[in-house]
């Protein structure tokens, strides 16, 4: 039996950023909203598409510029950096350590929980095209969409954020 979702509040987040801190905030809000009964969509665009890259895969059939962008952008959640106080990686490492110590879920497990709890992860195809990221580089369980997908979700949502 399919659960009816018509009466659920909808929450739609645009994840534009690839900063560790903003991405953590996105997933904490998304998972929190889903846990409280909302129907949540996260729409990954521009730098945000790097969040969903599979760290073990190299895209095939790339031209020089695409290869260059691909190398310079982070390959998935484990490579994201704090937007401030990164200090060559030291600040981000410290933050991750403190998160473990304080029992805050890691970004890896936040993404996993998001998928388990039924949060819809949509990735912007135009951004992938512009940055030369191929579908085989993206983690499983992600939908592909464009601005029309986003507007469709956003205009039905109670909470919309651009992160």
Q: Output the CA angle 68-92-52, nearest 5 degrees.
A: 50
CB nearer a copy of itself, residue 55 or residue 97 = 97
CA–CA dist 31, 120 (Å, integer) = 11
CA–CA dist 122, 136 (Å, integer) = 15
CB nearer a copy of itself, residue 58 or residue 130 = 130
Q: Which residues bind a copy of itself (CB under 8 A)?
A: 9, 11, 14, 16, 18, 21-22, 25, 28-29, 32-33, 36, 38, 45-47, 65, 69, 72-73, 83-85, 94-95, 98-99, 102, 104, 126, 129-130, 132, 147-148, 150-152, 154-155, 157-163
Q: Which two tokens stand for residue 90?
A: 């030291």
Q: How far is the CB of 20 from a copy of itself (least distance, A)?
A: 10
Contact by Cβ (8 Å): 12, 41: yes
Q: How far is the CB of 154 from a copy of itself (least distance, A)?
A: 5
């Amino acid at each position: 039996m399919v659960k009816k979702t018509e009466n659920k509040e909808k929450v739609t987040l645009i994840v534009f950023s690839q900063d560790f801190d903003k991405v953590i905030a996105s997933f904490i809000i998304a998972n929190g909203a889903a846990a409280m009964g909302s129907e949540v969509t996260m729409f990954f665009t521009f730098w945000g598409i790097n969040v969903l890259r599979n760290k073990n895969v190299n895209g095939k059939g790339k031209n020089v510029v695409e290869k260059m962008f691909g190398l310079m952008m982070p390959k998935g959640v484990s490579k994201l950096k704090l937007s401030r106080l990164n200090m060559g990686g030291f600040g981000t490492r410290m933050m991750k350590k403190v998160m473990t110590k304080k029992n805050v879920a890691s970004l890896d497990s936040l993404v996993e929980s998001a998928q388990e709890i039924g949060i819809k992860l949509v990735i912007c195809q135009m951004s992938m095209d512009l940055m030369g990221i191929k579908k085989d580089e993206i983690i499983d369980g992600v939908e592909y969409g464009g601005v029309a997908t986003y507007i469709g979700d956003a205009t039905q949502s109670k909470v919309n954020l651009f992160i």
